Structure 1
Amino acid sequence: MPAFVTRRTVRFADCDPAGIVYFPRCFDLLNGVVEDWWAEMGIPWRVMIPERAIGLPTVAMAANFVAPSRLGDELVCTLTVVRLGGASLDLRHSVAGDDGVRFRAEQTVVCTALATNRPQPWPDDLRAAVTRYLESDHAQHPAA
């Protein structure tokens, strides 16, 4: 299964007074990874959201923090698709530094129509793009 991998540098604005990444900034980092992933697939949010009126809200997020990240650390962010449903998408994130995993997260995103803010089925082109990243040991569940 292919994974989307990108790098991020921890910046001053990411850190709390103790000098480590403030945990809510980890969720901001993941949001940026997801946005970059869609752009890599040729479907940037600048097109999907304002032009196609498709929303991608996160409806669930769980994280396990393993080790702190600090100013200047280079992080490797890995995203894989765990499940692709009819309107939802489960993602797995792993963020690592030179010394190993810093945190992991599970995220559920839902495809919505911006006009109604209600779930809608994935458009065919989005479904096809996401399927390339689907873990091979997990089946698609179009009913979800």
Structure 2
Amino acid sequence: MTHRFPIRVYYEDTDMAGIVYYANYLRYIERARSDWVREMGIDQNAMKDDDGVVFAVRRVEADYLSPAHFDDELVIETNTINVTAARLVMDQVVKRGEEELFHAVVTIVCIGESGQPVRLPANIRLMLH
């Protein structure tokens, strides 16, 4: 199932050349993942409070394909590639219309209160399969 998250490029998102500053694509895909998790019914605050577990980005593999500009309407498409007991791998694409501007493969893990990796909670693994 593809999750779609719309976003508009604001002036503050751009660099001196008038294009989206490269680090902002990471912000965009983070917002899309957070929205996707919320729509699935996963309460990250409760996960932290009840289980002492939070999501953390372990790895991002990113390709910048074409620039976005001020006032562009973008859509971030998020898909699950793989779910194991310890990690979640997501495919995320930023598009303007049908044109792919940015593509990332993001590995998410859970960490406990000590900062050490822990297994993804079983109920979340079930939701993601």
Q: Which position in structure 1 is the counterpart of 2:104?
A: 105
5+ residue gaps, structure 1: 132-144
Q: Quote the offset at 1:21 in angstroms.
A: 0.4
Are 1:130 and 2:128 matched, yes or no? yes
Among 116, 119, 125, the residue aligned to 2:117: 119
Q: Quote the offset at 1:86 in angstroms.
A: 1.3
Contact 2:85 / 2:125 at 8 angstroms: preserved in 1? no
Structure 1 letter corresponding to 2:58: V
Counterpart Cα distance in 1 of 2:72 and 2:43: 27
Where 2:123 maps in the other structure, the secondary structure is helix
The structure-2 alpha-carbon separation of the partners of 1:55 and 1:73, relative to structure 1 and needing over 3 Å to count, comes to same
Q: Which position in structure 2 is the counterpart of 1:142?
A: none
Structure 1 letter corresponding to 2:107: T
Deviations 1:55-104 (A, max 9, x none): 11111101111110011111111111111111111111111102511110
Counterpart Cα distance in 1 of 2:45 and 2:72: 29
Moved segments of 4+, more than 3 Å? 49-52
Contact 2:44 / 2:54 at 8 angstroms: preserved in 1? no
Q: Quote the offset at 1:48 in angstroms.
A: 2.8
Structure 1 letter corresponding to 2:13: D
TM-score (normalizing by structure 2): 0.92
Structure 1 or 2: more strand by fraction: 2
Contact 2:77 / 2:92 at 8 angstroms: preserved in 1? yes
Q: Which moved more, 1:62-71 or 1:120-129?
A: 120-129
Where 1:57 maps in the other structure, the secondary structure is strand
Instruction: Let me know the Cα RMSD of the aligned residues.
Output: 1.4
Where 2:45 maps in the other structure, the secondary structure is helix
Q: Quote the offset at 1:50 in angstroms.
A: 4.5
The number of residues matched between the two structures is 129
Counterpart Cα distance in 1 of 2:43 and 2:18: 33
Structure 1 or 2: more helix by fraction: 2
Counterpart Cα distance in 2 of 1:44 and 1:75: 26
